[in-house]
Structure 1
Amino acid sequence: MPQPTRPVSAITGRIGFAAHPRSITELAGPNEIPRLDARDRPEAEIGADAELDSTIVPEAQIPSSVADPRAVFVTGAAGFLGAHLVWQLATQTDAEIRCLVRAADAPAAHTRVMDTMQRYRLWHPDIAARVVAFAGDLTEPEFGLAAAEYRTQCAEVDVVIHNGARVNHAEPYARLRAANVTGTESILRFACTGPSKPVHFVSTTSVGSATVAGPRLTVHEASRPGLEVLAGNGYVLSKWVGEELVAQAADRGLPTVIHRPDRICGSSRTGATSPDDAVWLLIRAAVLLGGAPPSSGAELSLVPADYVAAAIVRIMTAGTEAAVHHLVNRTYLPLDTVWERLRGKGFDVDVTSVTELAARLAVDAGTDRDLARALILGERATFTGYRPTWDDANTRHALSGSGIVCPPMTAELIDRHIDYFIDTGFLPRPA
């Protein structure tokens, strides 16, 4: 089994200098600096969180797939991957797409979904009529919906795609628990109320190699060899607990599928992606600081969002016998290629020592919000000098004959992302 080389963070080099207080506030709220370990929530409580409420039991056995759904309930539709899921549901099915969105009212919820689709260049006028948005919150009982509305959704929805989550790798488990753990349990209760509804749960590959104390240390498929995820990553821990709840619901007869995408990038067609990901924050930092560290043979592997969403919707409609699907890219691109493409676009990005870059970043992070975020998240966005191997046989089998395949990592894919970031102003326009 290959052993990992020392992780190479694109900017910080895992030096461990202190983070600027302002950036902590922006990332984790105005409270104290978050402790990035699982001890902020006692082990016994985490174990209790991973036990599904005994009253959540499906009322009837149902098929594991819905080939022609009339109504699909989607959480996280106003987010990056959620927008791609809405697009794929609109193009692959005739279903009404019912979206739970945090907003003041239904019109505002609908607007949030449409604005997100426009931002990621997925908008088409025909989609608006297909989307029914509800103002609600995963952290509230019955999502905060009126009782009659909740009962209606329980009765009419055919299948659930649970993509909603609070994603923040700088926050501790305790702050993510309400949305990511309690919210998942609420989705499972919803799916078991009235006609039972299959649940497709969007998780992360990081869960596959997490080692967390609890009542059920279950890994549903082969883990990434040679790589351990810090138990202190509150987000990963919350997704692990969510998977445990989903697995227990499946044991009780609710059809469930867990989808574990690896690090997601933008559409393979447009490069439109979220600037909040640590990888792009670090690449932007390299541009603004005018330097990148020695790559030491590091490679990058990203999974385009259009592939992830298309695969999930295809598996939802076609059915599967597998409990877990890994959505990964089997191709890699040298990190040096990213710096070369930036130079080709006119950016001055020279190879600079990690120590010098860290010093520049520590200074400039005080005046630039995204550099401040890169300063903190750089410790978690690492590129390694080896190629992990994921068992994605379940995914390849489920997608066989569909024509849905993961686009390879290419210089052109990186170019599309750079062009998108220049167009949106996330990267400065080169002189």
Structure 2
Amino acid sequence: MSSGAILLTGATGFLGRRLCRELLVASEADVHCLLRDSDTAPASERLRRVAPARSRRLIAVPGDLTAPLLGLTPDRYDELATTVNAVYHCAASVNLAAAYGRTAPVNVSGTERLLTLLDRRAELGRPPARLHFVSSAGVFVTALATGTITVSEGTVPTRATAGPSGYLLSKADAEQRVDQALDRGTDITIHRPGIITGDSATGATSPDTDLLGCLLRAAVALHSIPVGPGHLPMETVDTVARGIVRLSQTAPRGSVFHLTRPVRIDVPFIALQRAGYPLLPVPEAGWYHQVWQHAWEPEVYPAYVVSTASGLTEHTAPRLPVIDSTATYAAARSVGIDAPPLDAPYFDRLVANLIAAGALLPP
């Protein structure tokens, strides 16, 4: 990784914490973390909990991603612009049920603010800095409806491919702003994870934000699991974080990466049966019908939100495009990343962790 400081957004989120640690391991650079805090002291304390062993290289930047100058004073803003030569934009307003107007300030305007920071760096006579933008494979959730069967790293998302969710529409719009900046000559790479789920070794996850965890909780509440030919695009949080950091070290300008692999729909859910839950197999479309019928139940509602974000109706199963990540994982192997298997033992660890965390009641 090139010398110089790094700016990271979203450092205290599920992926952001892992990304922060990977950045600290991969380089000796100071990592400036933009946090929505009014004071430096509490922001610094939050960062120390992210990476205690390397916290001396973590610099809290209390600010606001949605505000002019990132909520900083003009002098502090220019200092940041001249100091950092790489920006990892991981912050996002992730709420599949929220309207576009609630997610766009962070996801669209926040991205624009960071692009403006890079422009300011150029105005101050500093060498170009690169933006590593974390998007989402979800920007293609309704690509089949547009006639796109397979989505490669080179496929350009549109509002038509992003479905009805305000969150995914805002991510598609953010990618449009990034593409426009690329056309102007800005140095950018794009990373599109799918469902980001638990650690490959331990299964530890974030029950509130792991979409797979939401689906597993719904299955337990419904006493059934979906079976069928469908797939879910996913990757472990550690693989995504390591992939973003290592690929960013050698990727040419304008590179796009799909950090996601397809897993047959029933594979994660069968782990619930192995854990002792008495769950009835139901064809995939019928299972999602049950989700709609029980959407008012607290443990089922998040799965209902996931289904509506995919553009589903009550009697349909998800029809997702094939997310081609062949080039991404070939590049990952070339920088020493061998993605761990997403197999039965892994999902057993994930389910065990959800039970231990209290996200699933014991069977």
TM-score w.r.t. the length of structure 1 is 0.71
Match of 1:106 among 40, 48, 59: 40
Cα–Cα, structure 1 residues 253 and 297, in superposed 2: closer, same or farther, change >3 Å? Answer: closer
Matches within 5 A, 1:208-223: 208=140, 221-222=154-155
Match status 1:145 vs 2:83: no
Deviation by residue 1:151-180 (Cα, 9 ceiling, x = unmatched): 211111111011111111112222211111
The residue identity in structure 1 corresponding to 2:63 is G
Deviation by residue 1:91-118 (Cα, 9 ceiling, x = unmatched): 1111111111112322222333444x4x
Cα–Cα, structure 1 residues 157 and 172, in superposed 2: closer, same or farther, change >3 Å? Answer: same
Q: Residue 192 of structure 2 aligns to a residue in which SS?
A: strand
Cα–Cα, structure 1 residues 340 and 232, in superposed 2: closer, same or farther, change >3 Å? Answer: closer
Deviation by residue 1:190-232 (Cα, 9 ceiling, x = unmatched): 112122311111111233576799xxxxx971479xxx74542
Match of 2:356 among 409, 413, 423: 423
Cα–Cα, structure 1 residues 358 and 333, in superposed 2: closer, same or farther, change >3 Å? Answer: closer
CA distance in 2, matches of 1:210, 1:192: 34
How much has 1:283 moved relative to structure 2? 1.0
CA distance in 1, matches of 2:98, 2:321: 28
Cα–Cα, structure 1 residues 350 and 400, in superposed 2: closer, same or farther, change >3 Å? Answer: closer
Matches within 5 A, 1:123-142: 123=51, 125-142=52-69
CA distance in 2, matches of 1:359, 1:374: 9
Q: Residue 227 of structure 2 aligns to a residue in which SS?
A: coil
Partner of 1:332: 263
Cα–Cα, structure 1 residues 190 and 392, in superposed 2: closer, same or farther, change >3 Å? Answer: farther
Structure 1's consecutive aligned runs of 4 or more residues displaced over 6 angstroms after TM superposition are 209-213
Cα–Cα, structure 1 residues 259 and 385, in superposed 2: closer, same or farther, change >3 Å? Answer: closer
Partner of 1:413: 346
CA distance in 1, matches of 2:115, 2:291: 45
CA distance in 1, matches of 2:302, 2:318: 21
Match of 2:194 among 262, 265, 276: 262
Deviation by residue 1:258-296 (Cα, 9 ceiling, x = unmatched): 11112221221222222223331121122234x114413
Partner of 1:216: none
Match status 1:92 vs 2:17: no
Match status 1:349 vs 2:279: yes
Partner of 1:186: 113
Match of 1:244 among 152, 176, 193: 176
CA distance in 1, matches of 2:173, 2:288: 38
Contact 1:256 1:323 in 2 (8 A): yes
Cα–Cα, structure 1 residues 320 and 396, in superposed 2: closer, same or farther, change >3 Å? Answer: farther
Contact 1:222 1:391 in 2 (8 A): no
Q: Residue 166 of structure 1 aligns to a residue in which SS?
A: coil
Q: Residue 193 of structure 1 aligns to a residue in which SS?
A: helix
- Tell me which of the two structures has the higher relative contact order, counting C-alpha pairs closer than 8 angstroms and 6 or more residues apart: 1
What RMSD, in angstroms, separates the aligned Cα atoms of the two structures?
A: 3.0
Partner of 1:318: 250
The residue identity in structure 1 corresponding to 2:235 is V
The residue identity in structure 2 corresponding to 1:379 is T
Cα–Cα, structure 1 residues 114 and 282, in superposed 2: closer, same or farther, change >3 Å? Answer: farther
Unaligned runs of 5+ in 1: 1-66, 118-122, 214-218
Tell which deviates more after alignment, 276-285 or 129-138: 276-285
Q: How many residues align?
A: 341
Contact 1:308 1:327 in 2 (8 A): yes
Cα–Cα, structure 1 residues 256 and 155, in superposed 2: closer, same or farther, change >3 Å? Answer: same
Partner of 2:104: 177
Contact 1:222 1:390 in 2 (8 A): no
How much has 1:372 moved relative to structure 2? 3.5
Partner of 1:205: 137
Match status 1:296 vs 2:228: yes
Q: Residue 238 of structure 2 aligns to a residue in which SS?
A: helix
The residue identity in structure 1 corresponding to 2:268 is V
CA distance in 2, matches of 1:278, 1:401: 29
* Overall identity of the aligned pairs, in %: 32
Partner of 1:30: none
CA distance in 2, matches of 1:362, 1:157: 46
CA distance in 1, matches of 2:21, 2:106: 24
The residue identity in structure 2 corresponding to 1:90 is L
CA distance in 2, matches of 1:332, 1:232: 24
Deviation by residue 1:326-351 (Cα, 9 ceiling, x = unmatched): 2222x53451x333321222223233
Partner of 1:69: 3
Match status 1:305 vs 2:233: no
TM-score w.r.t. the length of structure 2 is 0.83
Q: Residue 158 of structure 1 aligns to a residue in which SS?
A: strand
Unaligned runs of 5+ in 2: 147-151
Match of 1:403 among 336, 348, 352: 336
Match status 1:372 vs 2:301: yes
